[in-house]
Amino acid sequence: MKKNIAIVDYGLGNILSAKQSFVKASEDNKIKAAVKITNDPKEIDLATHIVLPGQGAFEACMLGLKNIPDMIDRLCANVIHNKKPFLGICVGMQLLANTSYENGKHKGLGWIRGEIKKIPSTGIKLPHMGWNEVTITNKNKLINLSVLKNYYFVHSYYFDCKYSTNQIGRTNYGIDFASFISKENIYGVQFHPEKSSNQGLEIIKNFLML
Amino acid sequence: MLKIRIIPCLDVKDGRVVKGINFLNLVDAGDPVEQASFYSKNGADEICFLDIGASIENRNTMIKVVEKTAEKVFIPLTVGGGIKNIENIRDLLKAGADKISINTAGILNNKLISDSSERFGSQCIVAAVDAKKKNNGWTVFSHGGTKDTGLDAIKWMQQLESLGAGEILLTSMDRDGTKDGFDIDLLKKASKVLNIPVIASGGAGRLEHFKAAVIRGNASALLAASVFHFAKFSIMDVKKYLKKENIEVRYLNE
C-alpha cells in the first residue's frame, strides 16, 4: 500500500531537509511513499503518516500552528482518534506537552503529559548543539538497539515527562532528559533524525513501516 | 555525552570549491555537492559552505548548490558569506541550509542578528568573527578580513550572544592558512566569557592542534579546510587521534 506522508508546514524553519530525508528513506528501502509538505488541513485527512517538524521558539511555533484554520482540529481527529502514526521533531515534539516555560508560560497540545523546561546552564554551553547519545529505556518500534547511537541535537529546552512510561529514550547534557518519547501511535524526538545521517534515516524508515 | 564536532569548511565561488590561504591565492578544488557528500560519508559532523563570490548571479548559484546538497547530505549544513539581509537568510534556509553564518552584515547592522534569530531561532544563526591580534587583545575585521572595524573581539562576541546568535564561528586571521595551530589564547578567552558554543577556526595543521583547541581552548567544534581538502589527514584521522586522547567524538554508524 502506498503511504502518504504529510509534513506539516506552519511557516517556520527548514522543512525541506525533513522532506528530503523522508524521500531518501523511502527510496532506499523501496517503500512506496508520497511525501508532501503541506499547510492544508484536508491533506492531514488523506495522510497515512503525519510529521510535525519544528524549529525556533515554542510560542511562535504554537502560534504558527494555531493560525492555520482547522489544522489543530484535523491533527487531533487523525492522530488522537484515528491513531495515525505521528512523529514530532524537536519543537514539534515539545508542542505535544501541556505547558512550556520558554519565555513565559504557554499552552501546548497536551497529547503527552509533561512540561517544557530550560536545561540548567551551570557549567555547560547552551544551546545543546551537536551529536549526543540516546539511551533506550523502553522497548519501541523506531529505535531497536542495545548499543548507544548518536543523533544531532539543537535545543535549550527539554521535555520533562510526567509519566516515565512515556519516556522511551534519554540523553545526558548537564541533566538526564527525555530525548525520545512515545504514547501509542504518537512519537516525539528531541533530536533531528533528518540531520542524523544513517542512524537518523533508520528511524525515519522504521516510522514509515508503522 | 556531547561529542566534539569536526567541520570541514568549503569555500565556494561560482559553484566551485576553492581553497584559501590568508584569504588570498585561490586554487580550484572541486564540486561542492560531491565534496559535502564525501565528507559526510567520511565522518564530518557538519558541513560549512562559505560563499566567497559576491555577485547576485553567484547568490542564485549558491542557492542551487544548497538545494542539491540537501538532497544528498543528511548532516547539518551551515552556509555563510555575503549574507546581507533577512531575505538572503530565508532563501538559504528554504533551500535546505540549517544554519546561516553572518559576518560583515551583522557588524554594519546589529539588528540583523537580533531580527533573524528572533524570526528563525537562535539555533540557525551563527555569528562569524574574524579576529586579529592587536596590542593586548584582538580586533574584529569585516569585509572578508580587509577592514579593521576597531571593535574589540571579546566584547563584540559577548554582544553577538546577547543579540541572539546561537554560536560563534571564531577565525584567527593571524593563524588562518599558516597551519601553525589554532589561536588558543583567543579561544580560551572567548569560551570563558560566552555561554554559547564556540567553533575554532584558522590554523589547523597537525593533529595536536585539534586537541589543544578542545582541551586548552575549550572549543565546542573544530573547523578546518585545507588540511582536509588536500588530504594532509582525514576527518577520521582527527577523530581517532582525539578519541585516543580521551576526547569524545562521534564515529560513523555509532
Q: What is the ipTM of this complex?
A: 0.91
Q: How far is B24 from chain A (nearest CA, A)?
A: 31
Q: What is the pLDDT of residue B19?
A: 56
Q: Could you say which of A127, A133, A147 has the minimum Cβ distance to residue B1? A: A133
Distance CA B241, CA B182 (A): 17
**Reported CATH class of domain B5-244:** alpha beta
Q: What is the pLDDT of residue B25?
A: 39
Distance CA A168, CA B2 (A): 19
- Per-residue model confidence as pLDDT tens digits over A186-202: 999 999 999 999 999 99
B210 alpha carbon, distance to own chain's centre: 15
HSE, CB side, 13 Å, CA atoms: give it for residue B10.
31
B123 and A154 in contact by Cβ < 8 A? yes
Q: Which residues of B touch A200 (CB under 8 A)?
A: 74
Instruction: Give every residue of chain A whose pLDDT is below 70, as ranges.
Output: 13, 145-147
Q: Where are the domains of chain A?
A: 3-208
Q: What is the pLDDT of residue B20?
A: 35
Instruction: Give every residue of chain B whose pLDDT is below 50, as ranges.
Output: 20-28
Q: Is the dihedral of CA B229, B235, B236, B242 positive or negative?
A: positive
The three cell numbers locating residue A90: 524537536
Q: What is the pLDDT of residue A94?
A: 98
Q: Could you tell me if A137 and A177 are in contact, meaning their C-beta atoms sit under 8 angstroms apart? A: no
Asked if the C-beta of A26 comes within 8 angstroms of chain B's C-beta atoms, the answer is no
Q: Which residues of B touch A129 (CB under 8 A)?
A: 123, 166-167, 197, 220
Q: Where are the alpha helices (DSSP H) in chain B?
A: 32-41, 56-72, 86-95, 104-108, 110-120, 153-163, 184-193, 207-215, 226-229, 235-244
The DSSP 8-state label assigned to residue A192 in this structure reads: B
List the catalytic residue out of A102, A106, A192, A202: A192
Q: Which residues of B touch A153 (CB under 8 A)?
A: 2
Instruction: Report the residue of chain A nearest B254, measured CA to CA.
Output: A149
Rg (CA), chain B: 17
Q: Is A3-208 in CATH node 3.40.50.300? A: no
Mutate to test the interface with A, among B71, B101, B193, B250 (most CBs of A within 10 A): B250
Q: Is B150 exposed, middle or buried (0-12, 13-18, 19+ CB in 10 A)?
A: exposed
Residue B43 to residues A45, B98, B111, Cα–Cα distance (Å): 40, 18, 36
Asked if the C-beta of A126 comes within 8 angstroms of chain B's C-beta atoms, the answer is yes
A150 and B3 in contact by Cβ < 8 A? yes
Asked if the C-beta of A121 comes within 8 angstroms of chain B's C-beta atoms, the answer is yes
- Per-residue model confidence as pLDDT tens digits over A117-161: 999 988 899 999 999 999 999 888 888 766 678 999 999 999 999
Nearest 5°: the CA angle B5, A187, A105 is: 80
* CA-based nearest residue to A199, from A127, A129, A142: A142
Q: What backbone phi and psi angles, to 5 degrees, belong to B45?
A: -90, -20
Q: What is the pLDDT of residue B17?
A: 81
DSSP three-state, residue A193 = helix
Asked if the C-beta of B76 comes within 8 angstroms of chain A's C-beta atoms, the answer is yes
Mutate to test the interface with B, among A131, A171, A201 (most CBs of B within 10 A): A131
Q: Which of residues 95-114 of B touch A (CB under 8 A)?
A: 95-98
* CA-based nearest residue to B224, from B166, B190, B180, B160: B180
Q: What is the pLDDT of residue B22?
A: 30
B197 and A155 in contact by Cβ < 8 A? no
A:B CB pairs within 8 Å: 109
Q: What is the pLDDT of residue B228?
A: 85
